[in-house]
Chain A
Amino acid sequence: MDDINRPTWEDVAHRYGRKIYNFAYRLTGNPDDAADLVQEVLLRVRKGLERYEPGSFEGWLWRITRNAFLDDIRREKRRPTSPLPEGDHGHLGSSPSPDEVLAAVRLSDDVQSALLKLPYDFREAVVLCDVVGLTYDEIAEATDIPVGTVRSRIHRGRKMLREMLTWPL
C-alpha cells in the first residue's frame, strides 16, 4: 500500500471501529474493556501505519487487534472467562423456542454468556467468523494458525456453545 492509499488512523477508526468494538465486546462481555481495546488498537494502528507493508490490510489490522487483546489479558491477568455477574446465569436454557429467543434481548445475553465460557482459542475463532465475518483464510492470517485449525476450532466452538445452551433449537 503506497502513501496515497494508506489510510490514516482516523480512517481506520471510522471504517473498522465498530467491528473492533463488537469483537472486543463479544470476547470480554464488558463495554469498558471493549472501549479500552478499541483505543489501544487505534494507538497501535497509528504507530504501525508508517511501517505497514503492502498486503492484506484487514489481516494486519485483526492481528493487531488480537495481539492488543491478548496483551491486555496478560497485563491485567484478567481472563475474559471470569464469572458473570449474578443474574446472567439464571436464564441459560430458559428460552422456550429458537424463534422466540431470537427476538429477545435475553437470547443474546444467553449466547454472550455461553461465549464467555468457551476456551479463548475457540471463542476467538467463532467470534471472528460469526461476529466479525472474516473468512477462514483471514482468521488464519490474523491468528497465525493453519486454516485447518481454524476450521476445527470454529466447528468445535459451535458445538460447545450448542451444548451450553440447553433450550431446544
Chain B
Amino acid sequence: MAAVTPDPDRFVVLSAYLDGELADGELDMVIGMLSDDPEAAAEFRRIRDMKRLLRALPTVEPPGWLLDVEHYGDRLSAYLDGELPTEEVTSIVHHLTTCRVCREELHDLDRSRIAVRALPGLDAPRFVPPPGPRPSASSEPERRRPHRLRPRPIAAATIGLVAVLALLSILSPSASDPTITMSDLEARHIARVSIEPGFNVLPASVEAVDP
C-alpha cells in the first residue's frame, strides 16, 4: 500500500491491520499497541467484530430480469428490419420492457438506420457514349494542325525584297533622283511579287511594250 500520512486517530491502524493494509513499519506499532495498551486491545475487538458483521451481510440477489437474462445484441438489427420469426420478436418485445440497455441499443441502431436511409438519392451523371464501337487510339485520324505562319520563309522574303530594292536603286538611271515615277512603282511591285512562286511576274503593260 502507498505511504499514508499519520492520522490523528491512533487506532486507525487497527482497521488497516484487520484489512491487511498496513504501511511499512506499522506492523510493529500495532503489535505493541495490542500487547501493551488495553484500550487499543478493546478497540481492536470492537472494530474486528464490526467488520465481521459487515462481511457477514448476505449477498442480495438481484431480480431475475436484471441480470439472469439473455440480451439480444446483434439480433436487434434483425428485429428492426422485421427479419426475425414471430416468437423471437415476442421475446424481444418482452425483454425490452425491462432492459434499459437493450432499449438504448435499439434506439441507437434505429438512429443509424434512419440516418443511412435518409441519405439523398443522387442522379446518375449525364454521359452519352458514342454510337458504335469506340475507335482505338491507333485508328484515330491524325488531327490537322492549325495553320500557323512560318517565320523562316517570311524572313527570307523580306531579306530578298530588301536586296532587290537595293540593286534596283543602284542600277536605275534615276538612282540619284529621289523622284518616284509610276513605272518605278510598277517595277518595284513586279519585283516584290516575283519572289512569290507561281505568280505572273510580268504586268500587262510590260507585255504590251515588249514584242
Show the binding face of A for B, using Cβ within 8 Å: 8-10, 13-14, 17-18, 21-22, 25-26, 31, 34-35, 38-40, 42-43, 46, 98, 102, 105, 107-108, 111-112, 126, 129-131, 135-137, 146-148, 151-152, 154-156, 158-159, 161-162, 165, 169
Q: Cβ of B49 and Cβ of A147 under 8 Å apart?
A: no
Which residues from chain A contact B73 at a C-beta distance below 8 Å?
A: 8, 10
Which among B47, B62, B99 is the interface contact of A162 at CB below 8 angstroms?
B47
Q: Cβ of A147 and Cβ of B54 under 8 Å apart?
A: no
Centre residue among A137, A148, A162 by max chain B CB count within 10 A: A148
Which residues from chain B contact A156 at a C-beta distance below 8 Å?
A: 9
CB distance from B190 to the nearest CB of A (A): 96
Q: Cβ of A154 and Cβ of B15 under 8 Å apart?
A: yes
Which residues from chain B contact A131 at a C-beta distance below 8 Å?
A: 54, 57
The docked-state distance in angstroms from the alpha carbon of A152 to that of B13 is: 9
Q: Cβ of A46 and Cβ of B21 under 8 Å apart?
A: no
B149 at the interface (CB under 8 A from A): no
The docked-state distance in angstroms from the alpha carbon of A1 to that of B67 is: 25
Q: Cβ of A18 and Cβ of B2 under 8 Å apart?
A: no
Q: Cβ of A34 and Cβ of B12 under 8 Å apart?
A: no
Tally of A-B residue pairs with Cβ under 8 A?
130
Q: Cβ of A147 and Cβ of B57 under 8 Å apart?
A: no
24 CB-based A-B contacts, threshold 8 Å:
A13-B67, A14-B67, A17-B66, A21-B62, A31-B62, A35-B62, A35-B66, A38-B67, A39-B99, A42-B100, A102-B53, A107-B53, A107-B56, A131-B57, A146-B5, A147-B2, A148-B4, A151-B12, A155-B12, A158-B15, A159-B47, A159-B50, A162-B47, A165-B53
Which residues from chain B contact A152 at a C-beta distance below 8 Å?
A: 7, 9, 12
Q: Cβ of A151 and Cβ of B71 under 8 Å apart?
A: no
Q: Cβ of A151 and Cβ of B4 under 8 Å apart?
A: yes
Knowing that A18-B62, A38-B66, A147-B1 touch, tell me 6 more A-B residue pairs with CB under 8 angstroms: A13-B101, A18-B59, A18-B61, A108-B56, A155-B16, A161-B50
- A158-B47 contact, Cβ under 8 Å, with A147-B4, A152-B7: yes
Chain A facing B: main interface SS: helix
Q: Cβ of B55 and Cβ of A130 under 8 Å apart?
A: yes
The 4 closest A-B pairs by CB, nearest first: A148-B4, A130-B54, A155-B15, A17-B67
Which among B2, B11, B60, B71 is the interface contact of A21 at CB below 8 angstroms?
B60
Q: Cβ of B57 and Cβ of A137 under 8 Å apart?
A: no
Q: Cβ of B49 and Cβ of A98 under 8 Å apart?
A: yes
The docked-state distance in angstroms from the alpha carbon of A129 to that of B16 is: 11
Q: Cβ of A155 and Cβ of B9 under 8 Å apart?
A: yes
Q: Cβ of A22 and Cβ of B54 under 8 Å apart?
A: no
Which residues from chain A contact B45 at a C-beta distance below 8 Å?
A: 169
Q: Cβ of A155 and Cβ of B14 under 8 Å apart?
A: yes
Closest Cβ neighbor of A42 among chain B residues: B101
CB distance from A109 to the nearest CB of B (A): 10
B85 at the interface (CB under 8 A from A): no
Closest Cβ neighbor of A46 among chain B residues: B101
The docked-state distance in angstroms from the alpha carbon of A31 to that of B105 is: 24
